[in-house]
Structure 1
Amino acid sequence: MPLSAARLDSASLLGGWQELNAAATIPHCVDNVERTAAIENFRRLATAGPDGPQGTFKGPWFADSDLYKTLEAIGWEAGRSGTDRWAGLLSEVAGLLEQVQAPDGYLNTYVQGTPGREPFANPEWTHELYCAGHLMQAAVALHRGSGNERFLTVARRVADQIVRELGEDGRPIIDGHPEVETALVELYRETGEESYLRAAELQVERRGHRSLAVGRFGSQYYQDHLPVRKATEAIGHSVRQLYQAAGVTDLYLENGDETLLHAMEQLWDSAFGTKMYVIGGHGSRHRDESYGDPYELPPDRAYAETCASIAALHWCWRMLLATGKARYAEEMERALLNAIAASMDHTGTAFFYSNPLQLRTGHDGSHEDAPSERLPWYNCACCPPNLARLLASMNGYAATSGPDGLQLHLLTAGTFTGETLTAVVETGYPWDGDVLVTVSGGGELAVRVPSWAAGATVAVTGARVLADPVPGDYLRVSCEDGATVRLTLPMGARLARADERVDAVRGCVTIMRGPLVYCVEQADLPEGILVEQLRIDPSAPIAEERTQDDVTPVRLRLSGTIQPLGAELYSTYGPAPEARTPITFTAIPYHAWANRGPGAMRVWIPTA
């Protein structure tokens, strides 16, 4: 569906988040790409004299991408709300790109602005095609959002240079960080230029033949260890793995090569079936920001980079379009409402780069690689503008439409205008399970029923139910004009456990309510009691508390005991000498943690 056909209710969780993004997050990103010299790197080259540019390139070599992702966010936001708030910035930056771009179309301020650097001389680490991909995606967003032609012209010149220099008769180069694949496909969709689609295909087919310098993390770090049809285990740098998968799926959507889809389904089963955190996070190793072995999911050492969860959502979206299977939409929702939501604070101006599921008492959060609370920006600032571009386009992920009807994938309040019918959705989800859809027009309405929603019920007027609600599938209703469909989901809290092979949380449970994962924070415990002392009673009822707090409107009260602390680091095993003290304690949604200052936190709680 066009983005203009999907409108989120600003009073909903997702709609309010999108408004916060427009009011706070995008301006924050604009300020920071200026402060950190991402724009200044372009000005430096644009004003270069006969002796070359003054000063040196500043920031990481992929700093251009921080600017491009921010521009993409502006493009989607302009299309959503019609804002021209950043018209001056867009005009200036378009002019800078036009001035800096080389006659052959090449554009990269690190390479162009660093003496001795040549284009594509070190593709394993220079991120040249990665940055080019983000420029293409920004150009597409600005063109769709506001009809801006200047960025699209620049991006096409970049893509044309890639086609000439790295095409079938050119240098067989791939980038160490996949991303350009999906961007080239999207640029093809926007322009109809088939050479861009062929360039994407070449990037996919060339990968996996160990053409890149190995480096200290090995070929799998770059996703260059096996051809894509054989690389069916999620491995290596998690963001690169997920971006690569999104690009391969995009290619399948255009060329219909079933071998690509088959490989992606196997890869998805590996990533989501054996290596995903319960919050929808990906990547368990800090050393190389990578996936670990199957079931290697330590909660306290979870890397779970924000960009990885965003990339996972992008991939699931493409797999959903390719197959229509509800499981992909469910994993989009899991990541969105847990890992991604947790990565930004309630002001929209502070962020987590990694998203642990446990923060220990006494944690040293002095370094930005593992802070105790969200930070305004990072030296490697990939995540904040990535969030901004996702949120600005979030309404586009909620629904799809075709000639037979409309499908609702994300359960959120809003208005969704399809080809044959319009659905007005009223709901307080994920805080309550009542989803009321009023239809105008006619056709089939499909509403996703979450897999955890056993016992869901449906009531309809002026429509015919084609099937009863089946958890993990779509409820399908044949609607005429004026029909209403009310889906009621059971929202009682429940406990979940991990597979026994997840050694790190054996004997623990996590608390879930609807699609939300809950956690326990030190801030909610009595003085003198540590998070590490809690033991939950899995047989005790869980009570709900409604609050006036917009961040945590539904809290949970649980029962358990306090485990006495030992006097020694190691002691002889035996029955605990002291009686355990009963306790009731509070759990809050995981996405709301660390909004009250730093402190210990746990998602997985040992059982009593």
Structure 2
Amino acid sequence: MHSPGPAVPPFISPSAPDPSPLGPVRLGPTTPAALAPAVTEVSGGFWATRREVNASTSIPQGPALLESAGNLNNLRLAAGTAEGAFQGAYPFVDSDVYKWLEAASWQLAQGRAEDDKLADDVRRLVSLVADAQQPDGYLNTWFQLLKGGERYKDLRWGHELYCAGHLIQAAVAHHRASGRTELLDVAVRFADHIDATFGLPGSGKPIDGVDGHPEVETALVELYRETGERRYLDLARYFVDRLGHGLLGGEAYCQDRVPVRQATQVEGHAVRQLYLLAAVTDLATETGDGELRTTAERLWEAMTRTKTHLTGGLGAHHDEEDFGDPYELPSERAYCETCAAIASIQWSWRMALLTGEARYSDLIERTLYNGFLAGVSLDGERWLYVNPLQVRDGHTDTGGDQSARRTRWFRCACCPPNVMRLLASLEHYTASGDGGGLQIHQYVTGRHTAEVHGAPVAVRAETDYPWDGRVTLTVEDAPADRAWTLSLRVPQWCTAHQVRIGDTVHDSTTAPATDGWLRLERRWAPGDRVVLDLRMEPRLTAADPRVDAVRGCVAIERGPLVYCVEQVDHPGGGLDDIVLDPTAPLTADHRPGLLGGVTAIVTAGHRRRVPDTGWWPYTPAGQEPPAPDGERVALTAIPYYAWANRQDGSMRVWLPTS
């Protein structure tokens, strides 16, 4: 947490309010949620390293990339301060600027002295945005420059409200992080314009309509939380409830086939669906709407049971970037857009706060370490838009947004600044409080603070997670006169745990987790120490037999990490003929010099010798020639998040066993 004081950076307003708890979701004291975000400072370990790369490389390069892509000049053109033509292929290019501003705001809240240049960039871009806004609050450079000022005539594809949503989220972040109101004023004017424009028939408002890409709904809820203006919450509810009534043609792609309260499956464009469900959960949290809560729980369960990849990735189809049918989870054609992983984390965190249930943070963990983190290179300069679970031998890559090779930037550059904003605010997703205790959702080295029974509580955590399952927690502040509960999430993958409190040791039998939580209640005192050991052994995982694409295959996992094999580690041939020996031992081997320091898994298999059947690659069933085992090979698996960081080549997560 950054507290304004005499030496604060110029980014922070001298009159800034205390911004804690800092993050994308801020619940009020009367919000009927089970949990509220705690304050966390990440000070070391795995995620501190990834966040440092984000802070020192990814975020600072944003303005130059947005300049070269034309996003910033479009704002100048809309403001009338430059000449030229609109640059960009899509009507939502403004949103890339807004997501970057959100990321930079969360980053500047860390108060690092080396971020002075970043603060200048933020001020410059905020000024560009404000200058481009029209007097009545409207702002979208695509329509202002290319469509003669025509508004809301193409709600299915125009993304006007989608861009407004990202502007609002950036403004909320900027205000929470700095106390400044320049960007918040822009967002409020736009939100007021939208509120005056959209409404039910008979409301006196000119348009009964919804945007083809949900996003503004969850942003409006957060604007309500930031300003206290109830109209924004009501507007969010209007948009959520009007989707599914055919206003966009009735397509599942844009969440218009069925009203969300009646839905039984996640469907359509994955990111659109997940942003909508984040808003559904926000509304259920703020209003106590039981039907919306039941809807969110039903759809989350359907998604995780039947449409989620092992990595936490979501989206089966390259065509329309959408969910497929239940259990349609291909490997080489998996879409798993990076933005979908981010949206999943955002939604699951809201579900965790609403319900208090650990399973939502289990999915957050799986997605963070795998489906999300694979989206950015280890050096923070290259990105993946899609995240397949297999790249075949001889793969021909045509480049572009759907490339299986890491790319510097994209024509549709939604993913890079989305990654930046999540990493910059990552501490927000790690811990919570409920008035009676502190809950640790994600294991990071750092300090967690919350208010318990009206008094401050602080717990410091130290861990080498995800490489090691030991987490040491030290109480640094606690009320002296009351007992309270320290709750530690025992991950779904963990088969056994041990906890030491002082000199007392308990195992999974004597201190079992209940619904994923190990709840430790006592009168804690500063200096009290808890050591949690989560058994972390390599394991083989099989898919539900209804997942046809990987039937007869297994994947390697250890702790929260999914593993893959890469061609670069297996010279002398490709990976399509590799067969894993399921009886071979799985050995964890930490390699500090590999990929920034990873624990690899070493095992064995063989390379199949497949007989040549001639010009036709098919044989009548039952008449296949035998395919004897080929050469024995040693297999080295690396964490999936680290693939495609050394050289291009084949890769696979799921390995056949016969």
In which range does the TM-score fall when normalised by the shorter chain? over 0.9
Q: What is the rounded CA distance, in whole Å, between the counterparts of 2:570 and 2:190 in structure 1?
A: 56
2:568 is matched with: 523
2:400 is matched with: 368
Q: What is the rounded CA distance, in whole Å, between the counterparts of 2:217 and 2:401 in structure 1?
A: 29
Is 2:558 aligned against 1:513? yes
Q: Report Cα offsets for 1:148-170 as digits up to 9, x if no partner.
A: 21000000000111111114521
Q: CA deviation at 1:565?
A: 3.1
The change in CA–CA distance for 1:579 and 1:99 in structure 2 (over 3 A counts) is closer
SS in 2 for 1:39: helix
Matched ranges for 1:128-143 at <5 A: 128-143=160-175
SS in 1 for 2:501: strand
Is 2:501 aligned against 1:460? yes
Matched ranges for 1:85-484 at <5 A: 85-168=117-200, 169=203, 170=205, 171-213=207-249, 219-419=251-451, 420-442=456-478, 443-461=484-502, 468-470=511-513, 473-479=516-522, 480-481=524-525, 482-484=527-529
1:55 is matched with: 85
SS in 1 for 2:518: strand
Q: What is the rounded CA distance, in whole Å, between the counterparts of 2:109 and 2:64 in structure 1?
A: 21
The change in CA–CA distance for 1:359 and 1:58 in structure 2 (over 3 A counts) is closer
Q: What is the rounded CA distance, in whole Å, between the counterparts of 2:89 and 2:514 in structure 1?
A: 48
> One-letter code of the match for 1:524?
D
- More divergent stretch after superposition (24-33 vs 542-551): 542-551
The change in CA–CA distance for 1:20 and 1:48 in structure 2 (over 3 A counts) is closer
Does the Cα contact within 8 Å between 1:283 and 1:308 map onto a contact in 2?
A: yes
Q: What is the rounded CA distance, in whole Å, between the counterparts of 2:63 and 2:192 in structure 1?
A: 29
2:30 is matched with: none
Does the Cα contact within 8 Å between 2:103 and 2:421 map onto a contact in 1?
A: yes
Q: 1:541 aligns with which of 585, 599, 621?
A: 585
Q: What is the rounded CA distance, in whole Å, between the counterparts of 1:566 and 1:147 in structure 2?
A: 69
Specify every segment of 5 or more residues in structure 2 that has no aligned partner in the other structure, as ranges.
1-19, 24-38, 479-483
2:5 is matched with: none
Q: Report Cα offsets for 1:360-383 as digits up to 9, x if no partner.
A: 011111322442421010100000
The change in CA–CA distance for 1:228 and 1:462 in structure 2 (over 3 A counts) is farther
Q: What is the rounded CA distance, in whole Å, between the counterparts of 1:471 and 1:518 in structure 2?
A: 29
Q: CA deviation at 1:411?
A: 1.2
Q: Report Cα offsets for 1:168-227 as digits up to 9, x if no partner.
A: 52121110000000000001101111111111011111111010145xxxx100001111
SS in 2 for 1:113: helix
Q: Report Cα offsets for 1:428-454 as digits up to 9, x if no partner.
A: 000000111111233311110011211
Q: What is the rounded CA distance, in whole Å, between the counterparts of 2:413 and 2:429 in structure 1?
A: 24
Q: CA deviation at 1:259?
A: 0.1
1:607 is matched with: 657
The change in CA–CA distance for 1:60 and 1:386 in structure 2 (over 3 A counts) is same
Matched ranges for 1:20-99 at <5 A: 20-47=53-80, 54-82=84-112, 83-99=115-131
Q: What is the rounded CA distance, in whole Å, between the counterparts of 2:421 and 2:518 in structure 1?
A: 31
Does the Cα contact within 8 Å between 2:71 and 2:87 map onto a contact in 1?
A: no
Q: CA deviation at 1:472?
A: 5.6
Q: CA deviation at 1:29?
A: 2.1
Does the Cα contact within 8 Å between 2:485 and 2:520 map onto a contact in 1?
A: yes
> One-letter code of the match for 2:43?
D
2:42 is matched with: 8
Q: What is the rounded CA distance, in whole Å, between the counterparts of 1:76 and 1:384 in structure 2?
A: 15
Q: What is the rounded CA distance, in whole Å, between the counterparts of 1:8 and 1:342 in structure 2?
A: 21
Q: Report Cα offsets for 1:26-82 as digits up to 9, x if no partner.
A: 122222111111111010121269xxx643353421000000000000111111235
Q: Report Cα offsets for 1:454-490 as digits up to 9, x if no partner.
A: 1211110289989714286111112411211111011
Does the Cα contact within 8 Å between 2:387 and 2:404 map onto a contact in 1?
A: no
Q: TM-score, normalised by structure 2?
A: 0.88
SS in 1 for 2:476: strand
SS in 2 for 1:172: coil
Q: Report Cα offsets for 1:379-417 as digits up to 9, x if no partner.
A: 000000000000000011111123212110011111111
> One-letter code of the match for 1:554?
T
Specify every segment of 5 or more residues in structure 1 that has no aligned partner in the other structure, as ranges.
none
Does the Cα contact within 8 Å between 2:606 and 2:629 map onto a contact in 1?
A: no
Q: What is the rounded CA distance, in whole Å, between the counterparts of 2:366 and 2:266 in structure 1?
A: 19
Q: What is the rounded CA distance, in whole Å, between the counterparts of 1:150 and 1:69 in structure 2?
A: 16
1:587 is matched with: 637
Q: What is the rounded CA distance, in whole Å, between the counterparts of 2:605 and 2:248 in structure 1?
A: 53
Q: TM-score, normalised by structure 1?
A: 0.95
Q: What is the rounded CA distance, in whole Å, between the counterparts of 1:343 and 1:144 in structure 2?
A: 27
Q: What is the rounded CA distance, in whole Å, between the counterparts of 1:526 and 1:254 in structure 2?
A: 56
> One-letter code of the match for 2:315?
G
SS in 2 for 1:559: strand
Q: What is the rounded CA distance, in whole Å, between the counterparts of 1:372 and 1:120 in structure 2?
A: 35
Does the Cα contact within 8 Å between 1:8 and 1:414 map onto a contact in 2?
A: yes
Does the Cα contact within 8 Å between 1:464 and 1:478 map onto a contact in 2?
A: no
Q: What is the rounded CA distance, in whole Å, between the counterparts of 2:578 and 2:492 in structure 1?
A: 29
Query: Could you list the runs of 4 or more consecutive aligned residues of structure 1 that deviate by over 6 angstroms after TM superposition?
Result: 462-467
Q: What is the rounded CA distance, in whole Å, between the counterparts of 1:506 and 1:73 in structure 2?
A: 40
Q: Report Cα offsets for 1:223-277 as digits up to 9, x if no partner.
A: 0111111112010000000000001101111101000010111111111110000
Q: CA deviation at 1:530?
A: 1.9
The change in CA–CA distance for 1:584 and 1:259 in structure 2 (over 3 A counts) is same
The sequence identity of aligned pairs, in percent, is 44
Is 2:582 aligned against 1:553? no
Q: What is the rounded CA distance, in whole Å, between the counterparts of 1:47 and 1:463 in structure 2?
A: 70
Does the Cα contact within 8 Å between 2:401 and 2:411 map onto a contact in 1?
A: no
Q: CA deviation at 1:86?
A: 2.5
Does the Cα contact within 8 Å between 2:384 and 2:404 map onto a contact in 1?
A: no
The change in CA–CA distance for 1:469 and 1:16 in structure 2 (over 3 A counts) is farther
Does the Cα contact within 8 Å between 2:608 and 2:627 map onto a contact in 1?
A: no
Q: What is the rounded CA distance, in whole Å, between the counterparts of 1:55 and 1:346 in structure 2?
A: 36
> One-letter code of the match for 1:185?
V
Q: What is the rounded CA distance, in whole Å, between the counterparts of 1:513 and 1:167 in structure 2?
A: 51
Does the Cα contact within 8 Å between 2:133 and 2:139 map onto a contact in 1?
A: yes
SS in 2 for 1:3: coil
Q: What is the rounded CA distance, in whole Å, between the counterparts of 2:387 and 2:554 in structure 1?
A: 19
- More divergent stretch after superposition (302-311 vs 90-99): 90-99
Q: What is the rounded CA distance, in whole Å, between the counterparts of 1:454 and 1:124 in structure 2?
A: 47
Q: CA deviation at 1:577?
A: 5.3
Aligned pair count?
599
SS in 2 for 1:246: helix
